[in-house]
Structure 1
Amino acid sequence: MLAFAYSRSEMVHDALVVLAKMKDLSFQPSILTYNSLLYNLRCTDHLWNVYDEIKSSGIPPSEFTNSIFIDGLCRQSRLQDAVSFIQETEGKEFGPSVVSFNTLMSGFCKMGFVDVAKSFFCMMLKCGLRPDAYSYNILIHGLCIAGSLEEALEFTIDMERHGVEPDVVTYNILAKGFRLLGLMSGAWKVIEKMLLKGVNPDVVTYTILICGHCQMGNIEEGFKLREEMLSRGFELSIISYSVLLSSFCKGGQIDEAMKLLYEMEGFGLKPDLITYSILIRGLCKLGEIQRAIQLYKEMCLKRIFPNSFSHGAILSGLCQKGMISQARMYFDTLTKSDLTEDIVLYNIMIDRYAKIGNIGKAVQLYKQIIEKGITPSIVTFNSLIYGFCKNRKLDEARGLLDTIKMHGLVPSVVTYTTLMNAYCEVGNLQGMLKLYQEMEAKALKPTCITYTVLIKGLCKKRRLQESVQLLEDMYAKGLAPDQITYNTIIQCFCKAQNMRKAFQLHDEMLLHNLQPSPATYNVLINGLCVYGDLKEADSLLVTLQDNNIRLTKVAYTTIIKAHCAKGDVSKAVVLFYQMVESGFEISIRDYSAVINRLCKRNLITDAKKIFRMMLSGGISPDQELCWVMINAFHLGGDLNSVSELLAKMIKHDLFSE
């Protein structure tokens, strides 16, 4: 009992001392004592010593001894030793058992060697051993994890053929396999078969289904399953609640997530660090920083100590809200605690300083990292490089590549792409291409963003054919360009007054099932208005409206300005009304642009209509527009309107000296 108590408490040396004392007192330890010791020491280096002692003591091992020993070897990833042991004990009184083979198969499956596990399944049959449900479940699970669902289903059929009935574990494994592949319809078919066989779902079954539906974004179905689960008398696990909480947070339904937290506590479940971290991150993403901090304090009061994930969420939230001084205060508080070694927190602050252009503060924090002996990560350097590039300090940014190597780190694609973009912005095409060649030499695969930067650089130098070739290279390498890539090259062809090629690229997007973005149509409409035919721009606008393609305000203002410039003010007015009816927020600047054009053309009646529309929309005119309208009213003899406007100007102090 004493030896067992020590071994169970992982007090290894004490357990061995007790064993030695037993020998001194001429007490022969039983095989049960040895088995319990072997079991509790199976994850330690003492495993072989205890087994050798069993053999030297002359005590015959029990049927469990070998299984425990094999389990220990597998847990220590000593699979080859486990295989050798199975071969050595074959044919002996307590040779390999079903349990031993199951343990070995489980070990190989966990390491990802499902085919090897299958070979031991066959060996088990050759040894005259009959696989049990656990044997089949191990292989079915291994195959499901490997994505071989068809073979897993075949093993289930083979299982039934050999008179071994699939149990709830079998069906849960299959349902999880379908869930991992995002095939929830397949998971439900497994559940249907399970019910037909008279096997009742358990907590794990419901958890798998809830996880699947939530990960697919179907939170309503996940919530229904939770209700059904409760109605059947099952208690939701922490995992089930965490998945539901995560789904609500991702969907921005933070109040529903908070209700679930209180429900958990009502059922006696204690929220853990993961639960709180999910909620804190969700609140921070929605900008609910104060509520996140309140929840953080609540977590600390319950003696659940936050990790870098929780701290990082709050710090990121403060930074994203633009509360940089509060973020720094929070950061300084953390760095005075035991979290000083956490590079993630430093990276968040350095990145924010770099993004707002305060490279001095970013460098200051970097120096602090070095002084404290903290190892910077590639993320640290990527942020610093971005900051230097933003401040047009390209030599300092380029020099950081050598610093990265000094720290034993490897520059990433992000590193090179950031630098390339900076060289592109200043028109240094040669510097950009040199960096690209250096990146290729390091066998770093360019991303879609990398190619977009290259295309932008080539387009700036009017090397359009080379940019088109890069687009083709992307497809050849299995890399799909996105809307930004196409928009970049389309805009360049528009500027080159090659509208035909610009529209060919638009059509190419559709052929590749890439939906043009509103920005794509802004570029095309602007190209037609400035470099092409205004009638074609009108026609394109009508086509897009007929096809219910969402347009931006920019598309309307571009074509309105073009019609005003060409003298077709009446058409501009029609388009202006369309823009208003589309629900866009119209500014004083938009109104002024049209009203000024109308007044210049002496279309005073139309100018009055739009001016009154502006006033009814709650937008007050500025001084310049007031004088334009006073002049227009005066020329039209409408002195009452002149008086009204003058009164409004006095009221809002719109008179200059």
Structure 2
Amino acid sequence: MFLKFFFTKRTNLFARSVHLGKHFKYPHPEDIIFNSLCVSLRQRKWNFLDKIASSNLTNSIVNRVILEFRKSPELALGFYQRVGEQKGFSPSLDCVCILIHVMVNCKRYDDVLDLMNKFMQTMGYSHLEVLEGLWNTYDAEISCPDVFDALVRASTLLGDTNCAYEVIIKLRMDKDFDVSIHAWNNFLNSLLRSNEITPFWRKYEEMIAYGYLENVYTMNLVIHALCKELLLYEAISVFYRMLKGGIYPNVVTFNMIINGACKMGDVGLGLKLFRKMGMLSMGLVMPNLVTFNCLINGYCKLGDMKTTESLRDEMKKMVIEPNLRTYGTLVDGYLRKGCTDEAFRLCSHMVDNGFIPNNVIYNSIIHWLYFGGDTTTTSILLSHMIKTNVGFDKFTNSILVKGLCRNGLLNDALSYYKWLVGKNLVDKDRFLENTLVYYLFRSGHESVSKVKQVLDDMVDRGLTPDTVTYGTMIDGFSKQGSISNAVRVYDDMIKMGKKPNLVIYNSIVDGLSKNVSIDVAKIMVDDLKKLNLLDVVTLNSLLNGYCANWKVNEALNLFFQMQKDGKLVNEVTYNIFMNFLCKFGSIEEAKELLEMMVTQGLTPDSITYTILLTNACKKISPEDLVELHDNLVVKGVIPDSQTYDTIVGPLEKEEEESNKKVDKPYKIKKRSSSSSYDDDDDDDDDVYGPHMMEQE
């Protein structure tokens, strides 16, 4: 019995020994490192973790740790970043892809985009290699389809729309997997940001053909594309298609159409849409700061500051605070209208509200002060910019150079330009050089040597004149009458491989026409016609040349040819020919030409007004002259103030004084440059009869 008991115990002991032997089997080295890393990571013992990771670290171990902490994305990412700094260790493609899967699953999209960016830019992997790595490491437990949307997004952020498209198509064709509509929206948006309008429409149609259902963001992109192409009413039709399709617009939808309307000058339409935002969105959308900024900008461009102020009042009622952009737009609007005091008052109000003017606002103020000829205030403002450490940007420099030139301070402009060159602050876009060349040519013949200095500075900086530079020089020489120099510059331009544009050809034709080289100008116009490079400016220059050289038959033939074509005639054409007829004393024929001009749908301008009145004042009676003034005003002409004050004003004053001496039962209506007249005298009697005098 005792032996049996001992035997049984010994058997159990043997079994336990076998079990313990299996349990205490020598572990694999990778498991030891893995467990040590996990313990150190949980306890945030980064120094100890670095010691463990400094030796025997493999991608397999890193993958296991990342998967172990897939529910703790901060620790997983922190671990990856820590081990990535270890010398002698380079994370594999699979390693980074597993981490990306983990981060996407935890919705850490910013970290994902940052990882993908480093993946493709720093580590040198292509977008298709990343795609293949993500596909091979895809696991239902740790992955979700959004990872491929993230890759599309990362490609667009790198500015490569082709890569984004390749990812979409590769997944569809090779993997039979479709990215979401959100990925397509990101891709289409990147096309619009790159101003690739035609590819946008092509890819949009392709997306629709694949059977994707548009959402509000897709429709917003379509509206944005149409607004970029100035197809406002097509954008509005898409807006109504959204409503019919049950896709409710958001505030971005409204803002894009309102902004598009304002940019096209139809601010009234933008305001109507603004008023109906609540109704059209079933009360879901209200205007925001961007909405008001779009409208304020539109009305400021029109000079309607009264409506702008009413919009500001509405903002206050809706408790929408203006931002720096709002103030900047308003300041520019007041300066554009010439209200300098109001603009500076607004600047003070902006500062009181805690906003510091940036260089955009300073640039706007400086531009309009120079435009108005106020160089003194501009200098004070520039000094203030320097004292308050508001940096000059390329626009500030451009405004300064152009403003100084515009106000006749060419030497100061040249000195400032040379200082910028010495500090290496001049951009390579040649804007400053072209501005200087333009104003130097306008200043007189002696400035040619200074133009040469500017061009030499360009060459010293490794730049060559561009088409604008050559065109400005050709135009300058042509206006100076130096056709030989203009032709020489043209030849240099051709030798340098620059292709002349129509503006340059027109400058040459104009110069030839004004300098007794009308036959050469005609030959050049014929050559341009063969090249299909003709426009109304070219023919107007030739017509003006014929008229200046008293070539009557040629002028008549060209005018009737231009008129017959229709597209190659404008207000300038009629003004040139009217002036030509008036020089012959043919006032009646010139007046007939005026009627012909209006019949063709063209509106006479202040130049038409001056041409007719200055030539007619010596040929017709004062009554007929005043009648001609009235007729022009009725046709929509805004009279030239100097012409009106010199010729028409005194006549109307004499007529008014004469009427005061005559006792009449009705009041004589005073004529003015902006009045329109009724052909029916009886109607005038009704309006200005005795009852009106009693009221006055």
TM-score for both structures, normalised by structure 2: 0.69
Cα deviation, residue 300, structure 1: 5.4
> Does the C-alpha gap of structure 1 residues 362 and 73 become closer, same or farther in structure 2, counting only changes over 3 Å?
farther
1:508-542 CA distance string (max 9 Å, x none): 65566655244x43322221111252211111111
CA distance in 2, matches of 1:342, 1:292: 22
Query: After alignment, is 579-588 or 645-654 more displaced?
Result: 645-654
Which letter maps to 2:374? Answer: N
Matching residue of 2:255? 242
The question of 1:394 aligning with 2:410 is answered: yes
Q: Is the 8 A contact 1:448 1:480 kept in 2?
A: yes
CA distance in 1, matches of 2:623, 2:97: 101
The question of 1:498 aligning with 2:503 is answered: no
Query: After alignment, is 61-70 or 359-368 more displaced?
Result: 61-70
CA distance in 1, matches of 2:102, 2:534: 57
Matching residue of 1:116? 126
The question of 1:525 aligning with 2:543 is answered: yes
Number of residue pairs matched? 589
Trace 1:37-76 onto structure 2 (pairs within 5 A): 61=65, 63=67, 65=69, 68=73
The question of 1:544 aligning with 2:572 is answered: no
1:545-585 CA distance string (max 9 Å, x none): 11112534443343334345456677556535534544543
> Does the C-alpha gap of structure 1 residues 608 and 437 become closer, same or farther in structure 2, counting only changes over 3 Å?
same
Q: Is the 8 A contact 2:263 2:298 kept in 1?
A: yes
Q: Which residue of the other structure, out of 181, 189, 196, is the alignment partner of 2:196?
A: 181
Trace 1:184-203 onto structure 2 (pairs within 5 A): 185-195=201-211, 199-203=212-216
Matching residue of 1:6? none
Q: Which residue of the other structure, out of 575, 583, 586, is the alignment partner of 2:593?
A: 575
CA distance in 2, matches of 1:329, 1:206: 42
> Does the C-alpha gap of structure 1 residues 81 and 351 become closer, same or farther in structure 2, counting only changes over 3 Å?
farther
Q: Which runs of 5+ in 2 are unaligned?
A: 1-34, 55-60, 105-111, 663-667, 672-696
Cα deviation, residue 242, structure 1: 2.5
Which letter maps to 1:433? Answer: K
The question of 1:230 aligning with 2:234 is answered: no
The question of 1:559 aligning with 2:577 is answered: yes
The question of 1:276 aligning with 2:295 is answered: no
Q: Which residue of the other structure, out of 457, 465, 475, is the alignment partner of 1:438?
A: 457
Matching residue of 1:344? 360
> Does the C-alpha gap of structure 1 residues 155 and 496 become closer, same or farther in structure 2, counting only changes over 3 Å?
same
> Does the C-alpha gap of structure 1 residues 612 and 336 become closer, same or farther in structure 2, counting only changes over 3 Å?
closer
CA distance in 2, matches of 1:143, 1:212: 21
Q: Which residue of the other structure, out of 434, 440, 443, is the alignment partner of 1:426?
A: 443
CA distance in 2, matches of 1:64, 1:479: 64
CA distance in 1, matches of 2:670, 2:305: 40
Which letter maps to 1:348? Answer: S
The question of 1:152 aligning with 2:165 is answered: yes
> Does the C-alpha gap of structure 1 residues 154 and 268 become closer, same or farther in structure 2, counting only changes over 3 Å?
closer
The question of 1:215 aligning with 2:228 is answered: yes
Q: For the aligned residues, what is the CA RMSD?
A: 5.1
Which letter maps to 1:578? Answer: M
Q: Is the 8 A contact 1:178 1:187 kept in 2?
A: no
Q: Which runs of 5+ in 1 are unaligned?
A: 1-27, 39-45, 629-642
CA distance in 2, matches of 1:364, 1:627: 44
**1:63 partner SS:** helix
CA distance in 2, matches of 1:120, 1:422: 55
> Does the C-alpha gap of structure 1 residues 107 and 74 become closer, same or farther in structure 2, counting only changes over 3 Å?
farther
CA distance in 2, matches of 1:275, 1:51: 54
Cα deviation, residue 451, structure 1: 2.8
1:178-221 CA distance string (max 9 Å, x none): 656213542442343243xxx53323322222222222222233
Q: Is the 8 A contact 1:595 1:611 kept in 2?
A: no
Q: Is the 8 A contact 1:139 1:152 kept in 2?
A: no
> Does the C-alpha gap of structure 1 residues 325 and 515 become closer, same or farther in structure 2, counting only changes over 3 Å?
farther
TM-score for both structures, normalised by structure 1: 0.72
1:78-127 CA distance string (max 9 Å, x none): 9999996632985xxx9936716984874358869996222233345666
Structure exhibiting the larger radius of gyration computed from Cα positions:
2
Matching residue of 2:91? 86
CA distance in 1, matches of 2:646, 2:129: 87
**1:234 partner SS:** coil
Q: Which residue of the other structure, out of 467, 483, 504, is the alignment partner of 2:486?
A: 467
> Does the C-alpha gap of structure 1 residues 261 and 89 become closer, same or farther in structure 2, counting only changes over 3 Å?
same
1:324-372 CA distance string (max 9 Å, x none): 2322322343355544452222221111111111111111211222233
**2:91 partner SS:** helix
Q: Is the 8 A contact 1:70 1:82 kept in 2?
A: no
